[in-house]
Amino acid sequence: MKLADTIQFASGSLRGSPTRTLLMMLAMSIGVAAVVVLTALGEGARRYVIDQFSSLGTNLVIVLPGRTETAGIGPGLMSGQTPREITLEDAQALLRSHAVKRFAPLTVGSATLSRDALNREVVVLGSTSDLLEVRHMGIALGRFLPAGDINDATPVCVLGNQMKRELFGNEQAVGQWVRLGDRRFRVIGVLASQGESMGMRTDELVIIPVAAAHQLFNTSGLFRVLIEAKSRDAIEQVVHDAEAIMTERHGGERDVTVITQDAVLQTFDRILTALTMAVGGIAAISLAVAGVLIMNVMLIAVAQRIKEIGLLKALGAPGKQIRHLFFAEAVLLSGIGSVAGLVLGYTGSFIIGQVYPMLPVSPPWWAVLAATMTALGTGILFSVWPARRAAKLDPVAALAGK
């Protein structure tokens, strides 16, 4: 019997009982669709989180003072002193690494921001003009900190969006003077509203030049240095160079911690991928259930078509051919079922994407492949027994319908 004839005969028997066939395909397609939609959701969540993280800046490397050891005794304890601070000169020395594209030093403190009778306690960020690029911030009005000598303590400030509203309302803010602690600063810009990121509401910040911040808080140490690597591949080089430069400048002592945004990202990535797979796996159980359903219906089909099987044997079909016919039926059922399921799943994902536009919903290719394979696999696996049963029927008894 030729393959084309086998398929035609099998599809003929499927069409012979349309209700049964449709129900089985429905079960199969719901299983596949469930896998596709659920993994699409999981993948969407993963990409959403990663996008959020990436919006903080790309290829970021963060240097912070002090060494965080995961084991053993820290160097501070050994030498009996607190870790040395990172100075502006240290930060500038980082530019010696070719892998560094730009950097932004950060000093953080809090001070009272006041204008006339209005005053408010604010977080003050001391940095340089490059912070705008490094942290992917946006300017709503005016301009950001001026470029120039890092040691210039120009008395200018950039207000967070909320600060501007609280102090100036609808009035013109740029060009006005405000008071930070005991110093006067001229407002040169207002940040675009950005919401919360990395645990800091940029809307409630005031940003001033790093040198001015040092004077204001009377320190010389930096809270952090944000470095943007030239490319994703350069990140490792930056980490290595930053550690080497800092160690060299701190008298051979490694007393800084260098972390990468990538490392944090990868952790999230792993967690969310595992979650997606788990959800997909649970959905795949419905596919296995559909497989059992196929087996059940196939067994019934063997019983119902026992005379036909007997006849085929009498007409000269060997057991092998009978087996192939039932096998082909199962493959057709699960094949068409999974295609229908894919259509259903993609449609569902599309609708979810329309309802929640911020969620980048799209089923990952591996889930689509796995769902289709599982559908075909279970269909085939669970048809083996019924097919064998049909093939082994005694033709005389089968013809008599026994």
Closest CA to 85 of 62, 110, 61, 63: 63
Min separation Cβ 44 and other proteins, Å: 46
Nearer to other proteins, 274 or 400 (CB): 400
The span from the CA of 24 to the CA of 299, in Å, is: 13
Asked whether position 73 contacts other proteins by CB under 8 A, the answer is: no
Closest CA to 221 of 62, 66, 57: 66
Asked whether position 399 contacts other proteins by CB under 8 A, the answer is: yes
Q: Say how many C-beta atoms besides its own lie within 10 A of residue 85's C-beta.
A: 16
Asked whether position 274 contacts other proteins by CB under 8 A, the answer is: no
With CB under 8 A as the contact rule, the residue among 104, 279, 312, 330 that binds other proteins is 312
Asked whether position 395 contacts other proteins by CB under 8 A, the answer is: yes
Q: Are 294 and 379 in contact (CB under 8 A)?
A: yes
Q: Say how many C-beta atoms besides its own lie within 10 A of residue 324's C-beta.
A: 20
Asked whether position 250 contacts other proteins by CB under 8 A, the answer is: no
Asked whether position 320 contacts other proteins by CB under 8 A, the answer is: yes
Q: Are 218 and 111 in contact (CB under 8 A)?
A: no
With CB under 8 A as the contact rule, the residue among 315, 357, 358, 365 that binds other proteins is 315
Q: Are 63 and 373 in contact (CB under 8 A)?
A: no
Residues 353-392 that bind other proteins (CB under 8 A): none
Residues 8-67 that bind other proteins (CB under 8 A): 9, 12-13, 15-16
Asked whether position 318 contacts other proteins by CB under 8 A, the answer is: yes
Min separation Cβ 16 and other proteins, Å: 4
Nearer to other proteins, 1 or 93 (CB): 1
Min separation Cβ 313 and other proteins, Å: 7
With CB under 8 A as the contact rule, the residue among 237, 273, 321, 362 that binds other proteins is 321
Q: Are 225 and 62 in contact (CB under 8 A)?
A: yes
| Nearest 10 degrees: Cα torsion 125, 127, 128, 130 | -90
Asked whether position 7 contacts other proteins by CB under 8 A, the answer is: no
Closest CA to 284 of 42, 38, 26: 38
Asked whether position 308 contacts other proteins by CB under 8 A, the answer is: yes
The span from the CA of 374 to the CA of 294, in Å, is: 13
Min separation Cβ 14 and other proteins, Å: 10
The number of residues that bind other proteins (CB under 8 A) is 25
Helix-helix angle 319-355:365-391, to 10 degrees: 150
Min separation Cβ 300 and other proteins, Å: 16
Name residue, tokens 């600063």.
Answer: 185
Chain residues that interact with other proteins, rule: CB under 8 A: 1-2, 5, 9, 12-13, 15-16, 307-308, 310-321, 395-396, 399
